[in-house]
Amino acid sequence: MANTDYAYRRLVNTLWPERVSRTEFDRMVYSHDFASLPKVALLQWRLYPDFVVLPQTTEEVASLVKLSDESGLPIVPRGGGTGWYGGAVPVRGGVLIDMRKMSHVRSFDPATRTITVEAGMTWQDVAEYAEARGLTLPSLPTNAMASTVGGGINSDVVGYGSLRNGGLRQVVADLEVVLPDARVLHTAFAGDAGGAYADLTPFFFGAEGTLGVITAATLRLIAKPDLVKPLAYAFKDTPAAATFLGAMVDAGFQPYHAALLDREHFVFERALRAGSPEPADMVLVTLAGAKDDVADQEKALDALAPKLAAAKRPPQEAEDLWAHRFMMYSARRLSRGLVVANNVVPLSRLGEACRLSRELIRKMKLNGAVHAFPMDTASAILAPYVLMDDTTPSGGTALGYVKKLGDAAFELGGHPMGLGLFMVFNLRRMHGRAAPYTAYVKSVFDPGKKINPGKTIEVWTKYQFPGLRAIPPPAMRVGLDVAAALRRIKPTPDKFVRAYERGKEAD
């Protein structure tokens, strides 16, 4: 490896000093993503990058990738840094590429209903650009405000619109990717927005930054609906709310989005924001389309709701919930960290899954809330979150919840979503005999293990000595089982809400 001063000079020559940083502060900021990582993690991984760089063009990204051959430093691509399982943090330092300066629209073509954007643009910005011109994205991540185009594709996210229009896989027509050998690949044929010809795009969905750096994407658009109308219904408990979601899909409703938020979510919201809705197990249904069609659907839903003892909430409350849809995790302010357990479960078993999520929260003496939504007519995303204080050594044990709920998802016929750094042990269970081919694909694209190495298929440590280089995935699994067991024997439950209320009184 070349010395770091020399590597720094080479980076500065490529990008200019203002877009290369090695300050302690910047390196610290980029040493974590949304995932709450206990400090003890620094014993295992060199989470601080050596350099943070902000390219503005595809050519600059290609030059950075070439430089890594010279310096021997690994490359970690990063978008909004909002991933849940440490996918965008280094394990052995290296060069962290923050893509957010590549955030422009390259072209917009109403005739083919496509838009080509740089990968650092957020999904919300893409949607707003298209909507100002009468079109919109068929679906976008639930975290569209901060999630970038490159980050969303690499995380294979589903979100708003996917129940009706399919997920991001249906949205992406072509990707521009800088491969680990610095060549620029287009994954699909440019004139083929319908995707009928040979298409390498699927390799990059859920690749978690391990196959190349996405620099641009061509996305399909649809006509913007005349009206978007949110409706809110309150239920007697969470399973009843889950049953409503299933009944709604079975009855042939095709809302733009429908989500369940349990009572605890609103308890947290109330502690933080006085005007937030009265706590209850709620379903938020968002209709979109022509005015008459939306009115007909609302009437039919209002007729279905009483059959499940649901009470409709005032329109203003539904509008408020929809307006706050990107602020799902305000509760993080009540503790000092938060972790999300992201899973797919059969829609028909969502009620059971919600009940299990709550039971685990109680048994593990955590504070947490359940969030779930149908992603298509057969499956639902189950993504409860729990609060944790990651400044204390015991805080990290809350990560055991993600492991245990993932096990429950497998038993229900679903699976966890997202591997990153902590959940690599799930790969084999998720993909069975196909799992080794994931490693094979990585070796074809990135034989030198330059791009985001030591994640998704193996877990590298910061150490280079034989025997210590990697943590066997089963050991990570056992570690998280131990964390879950420690939570269970903890004598007292977490009480973040009350602690927060007491703090407010003391101020």
Ligand X SMILES: Cc1cc2nc3c(=O)[nH]c(=O)nc-3n(C[C@H](O)[C@H](O)[C@H](O)COP(=O)(O)OP(=O)(O)OC[C@H]3O[C@@H](n4cnc5c(N)ncnc54)[C@H](O)[C@@H]3O)c2cc1C
**66, containing H or E segment:** helix 58-71
Considering only 71, 136, 139, 154, the residue that binds ligand X (CB under 6 A) is 154
Site string for ligand X, 391-430 (x = CB under 6 A): --------------------------x-------------
By CB under 6 A, tell whether 329 contacts ligand X. yes
Considering only 68, 114, 136, 143, the residue that binds ligand X (CB under 6 A) is 143
Which residue's CB is nearer to ligand X, number 174 or number 208? 208
Give the range of 107-115, 207-215, 313-321, 470-478 binding ligand X by CB under 6 A: 207-215
Let me know: does 57 contact 46? Beta carbons within 8 Å: no
Helix axes 238-250, 291-304, angle to 10 degrees: 130
Number of residues that bind ligand X (CB under 6 A): 38
Closest CA to 184 of 15, 95, 61, 70: 61
Q: What's the closest the beta carbon of residue 58 comes to ligand X, in angstroms?
A: 11
By CB under 6 A, tell whether 139 contacts ligand X. no
Query: Which residue in this structure is represented by tokens 């809330």?
Result: 369
User: Measured between alpha carbons, how far is 272 from 288 in angstroms, rounded to an integer?
Assistant: 30
Considering only 15, 20, 73, 99, the residue that binds ligand X (CB under 6 A) is 99
Residues in region 480-499 near ligand X by CB under 6 A:
none
DSSP H helices, 197-337, are 238-250, 263-272, 291-304, 315-323
Considering only 150, 246, 368, 406, the residue that binds ligand X (CB under 6 A) is 150
User: Measured between alpha carbons, how far is 442 from 247 in angstroms, rounded to an integer?
Assistant: 42
DSSP string, 443-465: HHH-TT--BS-SSTT-EE-S--S
By CB under 6 A, tell whether 31 contacts ligand X. no
Closest CA to 89 of 143, 157, 32, 153: 32
Considering only 27, 32, 46, 78, the residue that binds ligand X (CB under 6 A) is 78
Which residue's CB is nearer to ligand X, number 53 or number 301? 53
By CB under 6 A, tell whether 230 contacts ligand X. no
Residue 156, token pair as written in the block: 């294979």
Kindly give the pairing relationship between strand 105-109 and strand 459-460.
Answer: unpaired
Query: Which residue in this structure is represented by tokens 């067991």?
Result: 485
Q: What's the closest the beta carbon of residue 490 comes to ligand X, in angstroms?
A: 26
Phi, psi of 135 (to 5 degrees): -120, 170
Site string for ligand X, 341-380 (x = CB under 6 A): -x--------------------------------------
Give the range of 8-16, 147-155, 179-187, 226-234 binding ligand X by CB under 6 A: 147-155
Give the range of 51-59, 135-143, 222-230, 297-305 binding ligand X by CB under 6 A: 135-143
Site string for ligand X, 246-285 (x = CB under 6 A): ----------------------------------------
Q: What's the closest the beta carbon of residue 467 comes to ligand X, in angstroms?
A: 27
**Distance of alpha carbon 76 from its chain centroid, rounded?**
17
Closest CA to 261 of 243, 234, 288: 234
Q: What's the closest the beta carbon of residue 383 comes to ligand X, in angstroms?
A: 6
Let me know: does 101 contact 82? Beta carbons within 8 Å: no
Let me know: does 55 contact 98? Beta carbons within 8 Å: no
User: Measured between alpha carbons, how far is 252 from 301 in angstroms, rounded to an integer?
Assistant: 11
List contacts with ligand X (CB under 6 A). 33-34, 76-84, 87-88, 99, 119, 141-143, 146-148, 150-152, 154-155, 157-159, 208-209, 213-214, 328-329, 342, 417, 452
